[in-house]
Structure 1
């Protein structure tokens, strides 16, 4: 029997956030299945999950977001889910937007992004300048405007789950979204709000953010033109 939706929660050193994030899903959104993908955390993330009997895919080493996400989609594919959503373990993503995204993807889309900028404007910060440049680069190379290309809240239909599980050895970053668009994927965005991380620190400080944006733009312009499926 086909299952509907799996919430994939990649987690690396999120001991301060993981219980709250998963408890919210269990207590308020129990209609959805979830899996925590512990990405070789060095803290107590896995221990907290085991102590609370959370659904856990425990990777023995750190693979990075791309590897952890792909492990989650391999799990979704093996279990026969129709849809899967990438959901951050740091508490920034709000689960109340999962249902609107699910309704949208059922209209026939392959990917639905939880976007902060469907109805809202980007500010004039350096990070948002980078986001604007990514939006422009994707638009120029694919003809499709993605207003929030760096959003980590992304939902995928079964054909995309299969693509990541079997053919793509990459994470769901903006350059991969661009690649999928070039190969015919239909994408939509749903307006969402995101919270600030309450505990811990993001690796995306200012310098890493700049490096990330430059890397993504170069990949979209150059690498995606010669990229091959596995």
Structure 2
């Protein structure tokens, strides 16, 4: 890690991922020995919580399904209340490779949010047809709001620094796609800096994708609504984190 004083928390939102969540937690702990890892069990009806606990994660159980946004908001509040100033989101299906976490966190030296981008030169991940067109259009819109070129605004693999943690503990959207697109718009309009780093995605280790190519029209429509909602929200000012004062020095 570029800054050993950072108190990192890895948050894994999980819904009925008993077949993969244990491997995900094990991979996180192998890549980052000693890192704090929280699995937010988003109302699972299977053994997700038990498997995650056995793998060594702290498990927060929600009484019913809130969606990824609601699960992540729980994770941000846990981070805020337990003194973690950096949060990395890792999905429970195994697609996000924890080996890239240090690179995302390193990017926080120059940004408040660093996206693990699937279309930035690493790996062979591809979204095709209408869904890919929708993702490109969303990337253009969010890039314009953020005033920074971004190629993968729907990626859930992200590192978020102190300002983002404080903001998202209060405002992280719970609507579908709000946890990606809307959250980035909220962050940009609150003055947070957003960047990306190339990552290589893996195949899902279990389960089925949440949406396929045939749902691209609905995907785009709902994502557009998420962006509109974010643009209509009042701007939230986020104070810069306090800087340490060297011993004997002055601020």
Q: Does TM-score exceed 0.5, indicating one fold?
A: yes
Partner of 2:155: 151
One of 121, 130, 133 as aligned partner of 1:129: 133
**TM-score of the superposed pair, with normalisation by structure 2:** 0.82
Deviation track 1:106-127 (CA, whole Å, cap 9, x = no partner) reads x231100001122369665322
Match of 2:247 in 1: none
Question: Equivalents in 1 of 2:200, 2:10: separation in Å?
Answer: 18
Q: Distance in 1 between matches of 2:146 and 2:28?
A: 35
Is 1:226 aligned to residue 232 of structure 2?
yes
| Shift in CA distance, 127/78, structure 1 to aligned 2, threshold 3 Å | same
The answer for unaligned runs of 5 or more in structure 2 is 237-251
Structure 1 CA distance, aligned partners of 2:214 and 2:135? 15
- What secondary structure does 2:85 align onto? strand
Q: Which residue of 2 aligns with 1:114?
A: 116
Report if aligned partners of 1:168, 1:229 keep a CA contact under 8 Å in 2. Answer: no
Q: Which moved more, 1:7-16 or 1:143-152?
A: 143-152
Are the counterparts in 1 of residues 146 and 194 from structure 2 also a CA contact under 8 Å? no
Match of 1:17 in 2: 20
Question: In the alignment, what sits opposite 1:40?
Answer: 43
Residues 1:202 and 2:204 are matched in the alignment: no
Task: Give yes or no for contact 1:3–1:80 (8 Å, CA) kept in 2.
Answer: no
Match of 2:63 among 57, 60, 63: 60
Give the secondary structure class of the aligned counterpart of 1:34.
strand
Q: What residue is the counterpart of 1:80 in the other structure?
A: 83
**3-state SS, counterpart of residue 136 of structure 2:** helix
The CA deviation at 1:29 is 2.0
Q: Distance in 2 between matches of 1:146 and 1:89?
A: 24
How far apart are 1:48 and its partner, in Å?
1.7
Tell me, what secondary structure is at the counterpart of 1:173?
helix
TM-score by length of 1: 0.89
SS in 1 for 2:154: coil
Tell whether the 8 Å contact from 1:15 to 1:48 is kept in structure 2 after alignment: yes
Query: Which residue of 149, 152, 176 corresponds with 2:183?
Result: 176
CA distance in 1, matches of 2:234, 2:25: 36
